[in-house]
Amino acid sequence: MSFSHFIRRAINGSTSRIALSARSTSSSIFASRSFCSEKKNSNASSTKTAASDASYYHLNDGPSHMRAAVFWEPGKPLTFEDFHMPRPKANEILLKTKACGVCHSDLHVIKGELPFASPCVVGHEITGEVIEHGQLSDSKITERFPVGSQVVGAFIMPCGSCSFCSKGQDDLCEDFFAYNRAKGTLYDGETRLFLRNSGKPVYMYSMGGLAEYCVVAAHALAVLPKSLPYTESAILGCAVFTAYGAMAHAAQVRPGDAIAVIGIGAIQLVQEITGGLGVDVAVEALGKPQTFLQCVQSVRDGGKAVMIGLAQSGAKGEVDINHLVRRQIKVIGSYGARARQDLPKLIKLAESGIFNLTAAVSRTCKFEEAPQAYRDLDKGAIAGRAIVEIM
């Protein structure tokens, strides 16, 4: 399914006229994501206590350990390691991971193009089965996600209580950026992942979903109906989630808007299609200075340039300030959608058949094949989305 088809039908029934930039494809928006720079958590004493607790934790009548794929440092391959079973805390849920998408965001971490706490478990686009709730979790959470439920998780995991979450702006959650993206932890400042052989901590990119089990902040989850498959539905948590956030919240697309998705190529075709006027909304999906400028130049007077691809650390984008001021051009950043309000909507759209999840998934692979999938993604050998099946 093309990105343009998704936008036309998903945003309030809009029949927007889509003008795609030269050679851009749906994979440019689904697969091109970046993220904030990060640093390690240095609280050694609390980490030691958490590791000790983890070593004694196991599921009722179930395993006490699991496997996950670990990123150690740039230039080194992912390796599979044994972990103590991750232990959920209040308002967190332990999932048995069923599927995890292979996303460029993870690849940027693996290649060291943007710093993140390491070692870490990547994977942030997941579906899974509810196994256990953290102690002292809110009763509304345990009722909404009973044990055995199948769920999908959003990569932006809202805490539900910060100033932004209180206003419904889950995509700006203070704790998510201050703890997960800045330290690789959940919102008490601790990771839930500890190596079985040494007890050493391993950090979490979002929920650290490239694992047999993962702990997720409950507000990032939505129930997945049994009519939707685990594998293909994983893309709802990042690929579709990112696109919807850009269109529904940042661009606020309206019926009749012309839209360009800037992936690769120059803007001459956009200007040609629109008779030199430009488009109402242009979306930059690669996070490169060249395409940043092209995005702004593609927008007509009074239009919006929406940036969803974060650049490599230190990269700068230059624009003509006078042009922005005189022609009322709006430049807007968008990281994703809002988990609590948007993820259920996306599930309903997928369930109704308005867009086809299966068409967006071009490849599936086994858990053990995940490192090769990222190597193939880096080579450009994966078009669309690859999904790792962990079931």
Rounded to the nearest 5°, which phi and psi values hold at 323?
-65, -40
The CATH number of the domain holding residue 236 is 3.90.180.10
- H helices present in 56-180, as ranges: 104-111, 139-144, 163-166, 174-175
Residues 343 and 240: their CA atoms lie apart, in Å, by 9
- pLDDT single digits (tens) 224-262: 999 999 999 999 999 999 999 999 999 999 999 999 998
Residues 233 and 386: their CA atoms lie apart, in Å, by 12
pLDDT for residue 54? 64
Residue 265's CB: how many other CB atoms inside 10 A? 15
Burial 116-127 (b: 16+ CB within 10 A, else e): bbbbbbbbbbbb
368 and 231 in one domain? Answer: yes
Q: pLDDT class for 265, splitting at 50, 70, 90?
A: very low
The answer to whether residue 148 sits within a structural domain is: yes
Closest to 30 (Cα-Cα) out of 360, 391, 374: 360
Question: Could you tell me the pTM of the whole model?
Answer: 0.84
Residues 383 and 362: their CA atoms lie apart, in Å, by 7
Q: pLDDT class for 101, splitting at 50, 70, 90?
A: very high
196 and 315 in one domain? Answer: no
Rounded to the nearest 5°, which phi and psi values hold at 178?
-75, -35
The answer to whether residue 42 sits within a structural domain is: no
Structural domain tally of the chain? Answer: 2
pLDDT for residue 241? 96
Domain boundary among 333, 355, 372: 333
Domain of residue 104 covers 65-242+337-389
pLDDT for residue 216? 98
pLDDT at 328 over 50: yes
- pLDDT single digits (tens) 343-389: 999 999 999 998 889 999 999 999 999 999 999 999 999 988 999 99
Q: Which two three-digit tokens encode residue 345? A: 């909507």
188 and 91 in one domain? Answer: yes
Q: Are 284 and 311 in contact (CB under 8 A)?
A: no
298 and 156 in one domain? Answer: no
Class of residue 352 by CB neighbours under 10 A (exposed 0-12, middle 13-18, buried 19+): exposed
In percent, the amount of the chain with pLDDT more than 70 equals 85
Residues 274 and 297: their CA atoms lie apart, in Å, by 13
Q: pLDDT class for 36, splitting at 50, 70, 90?
A: very low
Residues 240 and 243: their CA atoms lie apart, in Å, by 5
Residues constituting the chain? 391
Give the bridge partners for 218, in sequence order. none
Domain boundary among 333, 358, 374: 333
263 and 116 in one domain? Answer: no
Q: Are 287 and 294 in contact (CB under 8 A)?
A: no
